[in-house]
Structure 1
């Protein structure tokens, strides 16, 4: 482990011997039989007799006597000399004591370290530093020593409340229990007493529970859904066993498709209640089934599910880039109708992924989960899997919509005669606004042409509400969308762009093309929450800066705004409201140590603006903040600052985070590590508490860390984001090099020979493009984890959103890693990748290394993680990769 303080070495003494003395003239050595004690005493006696004689001769010398007499006459008394001698002895003793307790480096740090410094003209107060405190280490971080614990809160809806109670109930989890609790109350009820249960001589462990949405938790004979044996498939989807759980009877009944073997339990894609709690919809092998809770009868809705046909379930690209969910189903509010999507991937190309270590039952990639038992020994052949993965310019999934009637059990297609978006259009969002109106947002395959349509369940017609080109309108594109919020009487709250800024707005009906009210004082960075009791809307805003997140509200009755967290101060807040908007789990996420409080909005509405903060802060903290505080008391924490750096000659500012190591001294030299992601609309620099890997790196490498959000990233308006349009890989390296070079020029404490950059995924691409563009001028080292190296290899929906189709855009060539010879001017490069990466395929790193070979670039290291996906977490891979980054940088900085 790297230590910031060099260990104090024991002093070593050497006898200096004249090498010119001949062997004959040296003193004969004593034999081992001589008495060592007598020899020592004999030497002492000879030395004493000699020195006493010399001293007496010197003392009696006339010249010495005359000089001594002269000094005595000048008045230096023995008393003064004695006092000076005593003081010197005391200082010597204190020095020895300090030296025995502290290393020379620690003593030096104690005398040099100061709390207030100036960097780039900005006054910075450094975090307290004590050489006897511990620094943040890799081990502390991986053990979760400084993690800001967050209480799991799942608010119950009013239908689930115990009868004749005020509300504010929520579900929370403990290591061995699932509890129902109430805000500001001692109420506590155990809904699951043990997370382990037995079924047919096997034990199962509960990972989650879904409460019946329409019945009180106090009702007898109530059924809920239990989830066990979950196996992740992709980012959001999984395979798992689902059970109907009855707390009163303590029974667990597996949810299974009909006509399956009684002795085999099949894992499902998902299972969930209808809004009225009378039905459970579940998916198995890409088909949909519906189970009636009261009778336990199962009806099959679709029967054409296959590796190419996805019913009610997204394929890989829809899950990753569009829906951000494991399902594509939409219940009407009254549970009488169900609309589901069918994705046809027949014409979509496949990529193959081999597994070398995992067994069949551990692989979540495949369409069907194998129940075959594998031998414990190593397989002779890799397990081969395939994945439907459309790449730019190739065929993407074809989507169609169907409606299922609960009463008639009929399935009908939603026929849309409008083909303006092409047959390969993308459905980005859909919702039932009321029991008859189904709202849909669609785009063409490049996510530029946007249409809003409404399906009417009575007339069975699909009508166009609005259409425009997002690039022409505000220089942007369509991407994953924040949820729509229903209010009352068919009205809804949705995002609306004005002058390139995202705001919330109210629409009167599903067929409204324009909103009736725009909340244009505060830019919105979250969906809205509607509180019917107070006729108010709540949302998070970046009003103060792109790096802040504050909670504000608008009272529709009073027509006025309220800042529930003041935008005059730095802060990053997250809000999780109950379904009716009356209760809130508010988490302060930074920049200081986080806290979490549960709040009744009724209490806040009773206060004037000045009293709101006091009302919030008087609520009890529920996230065990004191436990983390105690661990931090004797810990040296790096100092973090946040800045908006305005670019010269341009009306643009970039968000930059700076991390200074513990005990920072501007008179010393430090390595510099730059970290970035840089993807369009993404954001890395936010004022959030994070004693994570970047703080560990700063502490253990004794390095300064810069985190930079270049042009094209999120948090700001569309003018800033639109720099990424058709310009992937252009602005990121230029902005990062500019900020880094100016930082180094303005601060003499950076060692110019120890400047590195690292990133993961898109951040790996940004790192490589920056090194390519920089040509070894500023950056000497780089680390790219799972990087994109050629955008023709990435998925079509993400890439064409910013780059259009490759057939029409020559910028694809400029966006890839081209000038590989420039990497010869870098001191060293490290590339790491998971062999089973389903997101950024290993093909990217292979492509780059082939280019390196052809260009004679050999100053790089490569590490492959067997069977790991994009997260690199298989077989301790995630811990290993971060340790590898630290060790690799440390070795090169030396």
Structure 2
């Protein structure tokens, strides 16, 4: 009896002690996430490997200004300051070296244009003397790039392509016809930039004597008009935006010869309604490679062009019944000594690495299996090894592997659970790894190619220490089967004081677009910690990756082809139904929110799953694919002329009469990507259907709805609304 009482007393003391510790810990507040940046993590920025592989450079920011330092790989110690912003009097934000590392380009006063494009003031720094040469008298230019022979810089200004001789400062204007909303030379138009992940559209030849560039004639592309507010009379901002089924820019490839000042037109075929999204110089300065896609993007052609006369020949062709995903397979590398090229393709059902000879004939498939190569890191030709990141361990994981070019000797170099990305040295002796998982923030390490740790560069110890002060629950991963037997991945964030005997409301978070992935074993960002704040307020936050998302093979990703919205919505509804069956979930209080494609999905989920979802927030949603751009939309839906039902059957506007629950629609009026027009037409349709809803617009904010106090306001608004409506 005495012993039992002692044990009971000890247990009570332990319980009181644990409770007091829990009470001392803080819950995640909105101020922590959006005001004080309590959960922001550190990294190592601006890392560039130097040519001998024994050093790397890093951009550092101090109280006196930016500087680029040279770091010894073996010791991890800083050996020299290569560029000193304070000494130069230049507050630069980026830098790049020429091949022999005698010069560097630095950019300052950089002004963003769209997602990937920008313009700024550029200086060429002589790394031997430390002097800086200002380009174009300080006028803002785009995509300044040093030539391989070290004595010239090419750039774009006012839609024209230029080159400057550094020794004489003589500027040559290569093109003359550049004009806003008509002709662009050497830079991508809006839709290429957004959907083909490119902005610079010119490349130096290896010998520095030629420049290949893409010309965009967007004269016939319809204009989109976006009003900007804040003045007595709102101003119009007009830019070329080809909506689905409308006319694209007519594109062509040209090669400028600096010696003769002659421009050669490259033959890309007779068909004009095509895409020319990639140009690459091979290792031969007389051979330019380029990719051509047809309008429906279900045929990809790789050509070689003769730089002397512009003639071209087909090297490789890939076709698909759905689409060939260029962005996902953008890994073309030419080998030295005419040993062909390495590329990635989904042609066997999963993204893998292939080796072709110089004529395009397949030599071998280097990797294979029911998993995906997510990134080709590099090819060590000397030792005949290929480095890549893959999902072989799990679709939720990313690990670094090495394999011989003959497809043998595969080895995992980063076996740790979680997500790893790497930056490998040019001589393949070292790599810098960025690793995190759902429980551990970013860790940056320097490693030998074998995987052996050399030095920890950043482990976010300060953030880890701060995290110990907060009540945080671990992100729990789960899988469930839909009614047709499809297995889907998800994660769940529960309140830190979770009690399984209670009933909790659930907020689901969705993106869900083709090839995307939210459910990964990686550290989250600001949005994740907002979800932790909601968990602290008594909500369970859940995310499910539906059919059509990435990392599970081509067939899984392409299931949604020609009918976006159908299967994805079914899966989100199935996810909500699965959660409703859990004993600790209040089935009458399940909500969903998303941004962009996620806003499209949350809208459809509330409308078509009106017996399951009580509440939805849609931020910057597509409400009809007829309003979105050609390249993205037609890749997945074909054109409206060919597939009208695919555009209309699963448009949220089509289903507004089904609204029963609470709906909050949020959009920025300056959204150049998913136009505010989507919100306006959705609101109009809801009014006609006599439905009540809430709406918030953010003046002049773009698709990211940020800047100044905006993020704080947005997430405070959504938090308050969720508390009232869910």
Contact 1:153 1:585 in 2 (8 A): no
Alignment of 1:112-151 (within 5 A): 130-142=22-34, 143-151=36-44
How far apart in 1 are the matches of 2:382 and 2:39? 39
Match of 2:563 in 1: 727
> What's 2:424 paired with?
577
Matched-pair contact (CA < 8 Å) for 1:673–1:706: yes
Matches within 5 A, 1:582-621: 582-593=429-440, 594-601=442-449, 604=450, 612=451, 615-616=452-453, 619-621=454-456
- Does residue 381 (structure 1) correspond to residue 233 (structure 2)? The answer is yes
Higher strand proportion (structure 1 or 2):
2
Match of 1:409 in 2: 261
1:343 aligns with 2:216: yes
Structure 2 residue aligned with 1:154 = 47
User: Residue 820 of structure 1: CA displacement?
Assistant: 4.1
Please, which of 377, 387, 396 is the counterpart of residue 547 of structure 1?
Answer: 396
In the alignment, the residues of structure 1 paired with residue 150 and residue 577 of structure 2 have an alpha-carbon distance, to the nearest angstrom, of 60
The answer to whether the aligner puts 1:225 opposite 2:112 as a matched pair is no
Q: Which structure is larger by alpha-carbon Rg, 1 or 2?
A: 1
Cα RMSD of the aligned pairs, angstroms, is: 2.6
Structure 2 counterparts to residues 107-506 of structure 1, below 5 A: 110=19, 130-142=22-34, 143-158=36-51, 167-175=54-62, 176-178=65-67, 179-185=69-75, 186-195=77-86, 198=89, 205-216=91-102, 223-246=103-126, 251-256=131-136, 265-307=138-180, 308-322=182-196, 324-357=197-230, 379-416=231-268, 418-419=269-270, 422-435=271-284, 436-457=286-307, 460-471=310-321, 477-479=325-327, 481-490=329-338, 491-506=340-355
Instruction: Give the 3-state SS of the residue equivalent to 1:560 in structure 2.
Output: coil
Deviations 1:367-389 (A, max 9, x none): xxxxxxxxxxxx32122211100
* Contact 2:509 2:592 (C-alpha < 8 Å) held by counterparts: yes
Checking the alignment, whether the CA contact within 8 Å between 2:50 and 2:426 is kept in structure 1 is yes
| 8 Å Cα contact 1:508-1:516 kept in structure 2 | no
Q: 1:224 to 1:570 in 2, by over 3 A?
A: closer
Indicate whether 1:814 and 2:703 are aligned. Answer: no
| Cα 1:296–1:481 shift into 2, 3 Å | farther
After superposition, the Cα gap between the structure-2 partners of 1:346 and 1:557, relative to the gap in structure 1 and judged at 3 Å, is closer
1:757 aligns with 2:588: no
CA distance in 2, matches of 1:557, 1:685: 33
Tell me how far apart the structure 2 counterparts of residues 558 and 829 of structure 1 sit (CA, whole Å): 53
CA contact (8 A) 1:390 1:795 kept: yes
Deviates more, 1:841-850 or 1:569-578: 569-578
Residue 580 of structure 2 corresponds to 744
Contact 1:136 1:636 in 2 (8 A): yes
CA deviation after TM superposition for structure 1 residue 458, in Å: 5.0
Secondary structure in 2 matching 1:733? helix
- 1:727-769: CA deviations, max 9, x gaps? 1011111001011111221x12112232111000010000111
Write the distance in 2 (CA, Å) between the matches of 1:878 and 1:290: 41
Shift of 1:507: 1.8
Instruction: Give the total of aligned pairs.
Output: 705
> 1:568-602 deviations in whole A, cap 9, x for unaligned?
x632111111234332111112133131101121x
CA offsets per residue over residues 114-157 of structure 1, 9 Å max, x none? xxxxxxxxxxxxxxx82211122222222332223111142234
Q: Distance in 2 between matches of 1:196 and 1:392?
A: 51
Residue 711 of structure 2 corresponds to 878
Q: 1:480-507: per-residue Cα shift (whole Å, max 9, x none)?
A: 5423233322332210234311101122
Q: Does residue 889 in structure 1 map to residue 719 in structure 2? A: no
- Residues 613-692 of structure 1: pairs in structure 2 closer than 5 A: 615-616=452-453, 619-650=454-485, 652-690=486-524, 692=526
Matches within 5 A, 1:838-853: 838-853=672-687
Moved more, 864-873 or 487-496: 487-496
Structure 1: give runs of 5+ residues left out of the alignment: 1-86, 99-105, 112-128, 199-203, 217-222, 257-261, 358-378, 605-611
Q: CA deviation at 1:195?
A: 4.5
Q: Structure 2 length as normaliser, TM-score?
A: 0.92
2:617 counterpart SS class: strand
Where does residue 664 of structure 2 map in the other structure? 830
Q: Which runs of 5+ in 2 are unaligned?
A: none
Instruction: Give, in angstroms, the shift of residue 638 of structure 1.
Output: 2.1
Contact 1:278 1:294 in 2 (8 A): yes
> Aligned partners of 2:668 and 2:146: how far apart in 1?
37
CA contact (8 A) 1:431 1:439 kept: yes
Question: Aligned equivalents of 2:330 and 2:82: distance in 1?
Answer: 32
Q: What is the DSSP-based 3-state SS (H/G/I as helix, E as strand, rest coil) of the residue aligned with 1:394?
A: coil
Distance 1:788 1:170 in 2: 42
Counterparts of 1:649 and 1:389, CA distance in 2: 40
For 1:635, what is the secondary structure of its paired residue? coil
Distance 1:332 1:580 in 2: 22
Does structure 1 retain, via aligned residues, the 8 Å contact 2:511–2:594? yes
For residue 836 of structure 1, report the CA deviation from its aligned partner.
Answer: 0.6
CA distance in structure 1 between the aligned counterparts of 2:216 and 2:349, rounded to whole angstroms: 33
Q: Alignment partner for residue 631 of structure 2, among 791, 794, 797?
A: 797
Deviations 1:231-266 (A, max 9, x none): 11000001211122345655443211xxxxx7xx42
- Is the contact between residue 772 and residue 819 of structure 1 (CA under 8 Å) also seen in structure 2? no
TM-score with structure 1 setting the length:
0.75
SS state at 2:710 partner: helix
Indicate the SS of the match to 1:693.
helix
Q: Which whole-Å CA distance do the structure 1 matches of 2:32 and 2:320 have between them? A: 47
Query: Residues 667, 768 of structure 1: CA spacing in aligned structure 2 closer, same or farther, 3 A cutoff?
Result: same
Q: Distance in 1 between matches of 2:140 and 2:709?
A: 26
Distance in 1, matches of 2:669 and 2:87, equals 35
Shift of 1:459: 6.0
1:817-836 deviations in Å (ceiling 9; x for gaps): 2454445411x211111111
| Cα shift readout 1:8-51 (whole Å, capped 9, x = no counterpart) | xxxxxxxxxxxxxxxxxxxxxxxxxxxxxxxxxxxxxxxxxxxx
1:407, distance to aligned residue in structure 2 (A):
2.0
CA distance in structure 2 between the aligned counterparts of 1:330 and 1:564, rounded to whole angstroms: 34
Deviates more, 1:226-235 or 1:437-446: 437-446
What SS does the corresponding residue of 2:194 show, helix, strand or coil?
helix
